[in-house]
Amino acid sequence: MPVLTNPMALELTASSAAAAESFGACEEGYLAFAPDLMERLKEVLTLDPGMPMARILRGYLLLLGRRREYVGAAARVAEALEEERAMLLPREAQHLDALDAWLKGDTEATLARWEEILHECPTDALALKLAHFSYLYAGRARELRDSINRVAYAWNSEQPWYAYFLGMQAFGLEETGEYARAQRLAEEALERNAVEPWAVHAVAHCLEMQDRWEEGRAAIERHRPNWSTCNLANHLAWHSALMCIDAGDERGALSTLDAALARDDADMPPHIVDSVALLQRLELCGVDPGGRWTQLADLSDERDRDHSLVFFDAHYMLAYAAAGREEKARDFLASLEAYSRAVDTANARVARTVGLPLLGGLMDYKLGRFGEAYTKLSPLRYEIVHIGGSHAQRDLFQQVIIDAAARSANSRDALMLLSERTQASPGNALSQVRLADALEECGLVDSAEQARVRAAGLLGS
């Protein structure tokens, strides 16, 4: 088989130049969250059904679907390629090793394989982005940043995918608190390539974390024509909705949620996660959820045996319990426990140490057992990071812990947690309102009034 190259001049086996070119467009589709990614992949596999990198990418994408029913197909991809291992190029064999490790649920080994690829091929954007997401879903923010920075020496503005590199670098910096530099790099990425949704996403995170919601919404909306149909659109709309909540515009956030629930792919795991998180946040603002919890429990119904990530499971649990499906919630918790004991993967270890008390506490919380919920959730405040997701996503659980404290016999704890929260994020009006409520509950009326004045000032009213 001929050896050709991708747009970053990395060698790959392909039957023709047309097939190699088509794979380049497919790889870029993955980097750009292209809505036609699967069509691009089909096109490559039609041109060259045997192309190793295209088949490996198919395996990766199946696993990224985070559904148990896709794992078998990914395993078959790996098995078939194993028989051809002797003919693979070194980089292709390393990607096959990574796919194998991922199929075993071995995050450490999977990341090690991608890092090995990057050691030899620092411009392997596929390995770079897959590792990027794997670090994100492991809650390993410094590695998320460092993995990209380690290969920065090999990237430059002459390269066709440089903007995607900058988008990832920006997000890594954002998750480690370097907001100003992160935003600069994300904006540079967007100047180079306006269709770089991950860079818009990095800007959104930077501004959200600094309570700059007006600028954040403006930035997301300014770029909307370039992301509205991409595979990150639902999540970017979610970020815009978070900023609606920050600004006191719950109706705006609710309409975004309803649009997400009306999507044909509303049952995709990341979409369920975002919708659950948004509804929970809105409920914390006093919004009536209507029948949406039932809708979300239905969408999550078949996800109860995936256990692909504790981060996802925590959101499914919120949906089951909020919809009043206590038996389902209990079965789900029992299933997570059985899974956590049956396998020894990174996710199973997180399930054992953090997942079980977290899901148990969330179940209690949604079933109105606030004291029990607070007892289970409170010790996890500094452990939740291990379930992964971004800081902005995981903040949901901190909000739930505070609410569980406020609604049980722990009003002083709620006050202290809100004191901590408002000191860490003094520009957040919602936290000031909640602080005022907690101060009032503890009889500190004058301080409560001052907090309400601060909140009104932040909202410009």
Give the residues lining the site for Fe ion (CB under 5 A). Answer: 390
Q: Which residue is nearest to Fe ion, using beta carbons?
A: 390
Distance in angstroms (rounded) separating the CA atoms of residues 124 and 32: 15
Burial call 361-396: b when 16+ CB within 10 Å, e when fewer: bbbbbbbebbebbbbbbbebeeebbbbbbbbbbbbb
Least CB distance from residue 170 to Fe ion, whole Å?
12
CB of 208 to Fe ion, least distance (A): 8
> Residue 11, SS3?
strand
* Shortest distance, position 433 Cβ to Fe ion, whole Å: 24
- Using the minimum distance from each CB to Fe ion, give the nearer residue, 100 or 143: 143
We find the least distance from the C-beta atom of residue 205 to Fe ion, in angstroms, to be 6
Q: How far is the CB of 429 from Fe ion (least distance, A)?
A: 21
Nearer to Fe ion, 256 or 390 (CB): 390
Determine contact, residues 114/143, Cβ cutoff 8 Å.
no
* CB of residue 242 to Fe ion, shortest distance in Å: 9
By residue count, the chain amounts to 461
* Residue number, 105 or 167, with CB nearest to Fe ion: 167
d(CA 240, CA 242): 5
- Region of residue 156 (phi > 0: left; psi between -120 and 50: alpha; otherwise: beta): beta
| Nearest to Fe ion of 399, 411 (CB atom) | 399
Of 100 and 211, which has the nearer Cβ to Fe ion? 211
Judged by beta carbon, residue 235 or residue 307, the one nearer Fe ion is: 235
How many Å apart are CA 163 and CA 24, to the nearest integer? 16
Quickly list DSSP for 383-409. TGGGG-S-HHHHHHHHHHHHHHHHTTT
Do 313 and 355 contact (CB within 8 A), yes or no? yes
